Amino acid sequence: MYSLEFTVNGQLCQVAVDLKTTLLEVLRDKLFITSPKVGCNTGDCGTCSVLMNGKLVRSCITNALSAQGKEVTTIEGLAEAGELHPLQEAFHDNYGAQCGFCTPGMILASKALLDENPKPTREEAKEALSGNLCRCTGYGKIIDSVMAAAEQMAQAKS
């Protein structure tokens, strides 16, 4: 067993992992952070997505030891002082979630996009979310939510 030390949502964590442990297993089974879901477990569906050092990754196929010393953000880390992140507000207001299983991954993929490109086109938003599958919504409302959040965040800045 190896000791993995990394930061999750601003908090330093230390857990024992083995060679085959995934970041998703660490988050869900050791730290009880259950927003990243176990969907396909092969990196295809995107519902396990988290941010690692600000970049979108699939926690289900991320070897836990490759997260050593890094900063991981899950959806639990987005709200600040009880205030929802504008993306969370926008998904709520625009009906961007139905069953909710894909939603944490969708919002984190959207955050990765807006951090790099605060004013994306609809096409760019679709491309950024292209690896996140939703079986309920048909994606329209999800893209609407991302665009609404981008606009809201731009207004808040100006």
Partner 1 sequence: MAERQFFKATDPQEACDLLAQYGGKARLLAGGTDLMVAVNQRQLSPEVLVYLGDSGLNYINSESDNLVIGAATPFTDIMGSNLVREEAPLLAEVISHIASPAIRNVGTIGGNLANGSPAADSATALLALGASLKLVSKAGDRVVAVEEFFTGPGETTLEPTELIQEVIIPKKAGEAKWAYRKLGKRKAQTLSIVSVAICCPLDGGQCQGTRIALGAVAPTPILASEASALLEGKILSEGLIDESAKAAADASNPIDDVRGSAWYRRRAIEALVRQLLAQISA
**Contact of 131 with 72, CB cutoff 8 Å:** no
Which residue lies nearer to partner 1 by CB, 41 or 89? 41
C-beta separation of 4 from 22 below 8 A? no
CB 56 to partner 1: min, Å: 4
CA 104 to chain centre: 5
Both tokens assigned to 51 = 């941010």
Interface residues with partner 1 (CB under 8 A)?
2, 18-20, 22, 41-44, 46, 49, 55-58, 60-63, 65-66, 68, 109, 112, 127-128, 130-133
2 forms bridges with which residues in the sheet? Answer: 17
Minimum CB–partner distance for residue 81 and partner 1 (Å): 29
CB of 44 vs partner 1, minimal distance in Å: 6
CB of 62 to partner 1, least distance (A): 6
Q: Which is nearer to partner 1, 33 or 109 (CB)?
A: 109
* Count of residues making up the chain: 158
Which of residues 83 and 116 has its CB atom nearest to partner 1 in the complex? 116
Pinpoint the alpha helices (H) of the chain.
23-25, 86-93, 103-116, 122-128, 140-157
